[in-house]
Structure 1
Amino acid sequence: MAWFSRRDRRSSKPNPGEQRLTKREVGRVPLLQVQGLDVYYGRAHALQSVSLELNQGVLGIVGRNGMGKTTLCNAIVGLVPASGSVKVAGEEILGLSPHEITRLGIAYVPQGRRVWPSLSVDETLHLVASHRRDVERIYTMFPRLGERKRNGGSQLSGGEQQML
């Protein structure tokens, strides 16, 4: 999961009753605050009242298989239904769609890499992009992919495959 310092593209006007934090206040609150997070898969209680606070920096979530690491990340970015509270820089995001959460600058890159090994980077991007300008924008965001545009997916490093 990553936080990109990107301006919120939603309306700059807060909803009635909603208060936005100033830049100074944002520096004083945890970057990520999870309180009482519960996730169910059917009748199975996968996450039980998880609470944590993270300040800005680098973080790793470590645990044995089946302990809820992926479910926690999926709940934070809105990929699975959850109850409780998830705040980023003081702003509640639980209940927003994954698309809305991404627009706030929060992303989750799962470990699995689904690349076509025989297609070049350029062929892959043109296959999945809606417009040519999207491909150029991707090359601008990830210059390393531009350098490797003729390489096949299987020739990329793990990090490059995640970029792709």
Structure 2
Amino acid sequence: MSGFFEIKDLHAYYGKSHVLHGVDLRVDRGEIVSLLGRNGVGRSTTIKAAMGQVDAQGSILFKGEQLIGLKAFQIAHKGLGYVPENRDIFPSLSVEQNLLLGQKSGKPAAGKPRWSLDDMYRMFPRLKERQHTAAGVLSGGEQQMLTLCRTLMGDPDLVMIDEPTEGLAPKIVDLVAEYLKELRNRGISVLLVEQKLAIALEISQRVYVMGHGCIVFEGSPQDLRGNQRIRQEWLEV
């Protein structure tokens, strides 16, 4: 039986540099899965490959369809959302204009989208306060909220999020954790690339640990808590 989102024997390259060496992972419907590991081991490359942004070989199946060979916009239209680490906002546009840009035009009318502007403002009241403010003057935390919400406005079935808590104050990190739980409550799957072990273990159903372009551990948060060797060898600085 094929999963909802399934990566098999994934190899990826930057020029002649071989970055991913046969990665296998899966995300089921309504599941939060975290991909952990130190910087530079290939976590971001894995989700970029799934989004068609990196040369890759192997298999990436989403809802039974092969993504390898498709362009990023085609992948997005199949219901895959991607929140990059660099918070790609449009600085001169207002918060609300940025959110509206996230809506997919020409998406098949399979009913009402799951998310509205009101949903975004309810989850992050700070965005409502600043809805007419240029996005470029927002704080880092506010820009992260905006990027997350703009992706949701495209009504994805799976969201891949790269380091959403990087550089954020602890209070904002807690907000992001609540946001991720809200996604799961609405039946949206999440593949989370994260450095902070605590948040990943708190919200995930399953975790993968990556080292040197390979998966070196797969299991539940409880399994990882109990495996000191893996934590010391592949996660702790």
Under TM normalisation by the shorter chain, which class is it? 0.5 to 0.7
CA distance in 2, matches of 1:32, 1:146: 33
**Normalising to structure 2: TM-score of the pair?**
0.46
Structure 2: stretches of 5+ with no match in the other structure:
106-114, 122-126, 151-237
Q: Is it true that 1:73 corresponds to 2:47 in the alignment?
A: yes
Q: Is it true that 1:39 corresponds to 2:21 in the alignment?
A: no
Change (3 A) 1:40 1:139: same
1:74-153 correspondence runs (5 A): 74-115=48-89, 120-122=94-96, 125=98, 140=117, 143-144=120-121, 145=127, 148-153=130-135
Code of the residue aligned with 2:132 in structure 1: it is R
Change (3 A) 1:93 1:118: closer
| 8 Å CA contact 2:87, 2:144 repeated in 1 | no
Aligned counterpart for 1:55 among listed residues 19, 28, 43: 28
CA distance in 2, matches of 1:43, 1:90: 30
CA distance in 2, matches of 1:141, 1:75: 33
Name the % identity: 30
Give the structure, 1 or 2, with the largest relative contact order (CA under 8 Å, sep 6 or more).
Answer: 2
| 8 Å CA contact 1:35, 1:84 repeated in 2 | yes
How many positions carry a matched residue from both structures?
129
Bigger mean CA deviation after superposition, 53-62 or 38-47: 53-62
| 8 Å CA contact 1:139, 1:146 repeated in 2 | no
CA distance in 1, matches of 2:90, 2:61: 36
Code of the residue aligned with 1:73 in structure 2: it is I
Cα deviations across residues 140-163 of structure 1 (Å, max 9, x unaligned)? 486425553123431562442313
Q: Name the one with the larger strand percent.
A: 2
Change (3 A) 1:84 1:119: closer
CA distance in 2, matches of 1:141, 1:104: 24
Structure 1: stretches of 5+ with no match in the other structure:
1-27
CA distance in 2, matches of 1:143, 1:53: 28
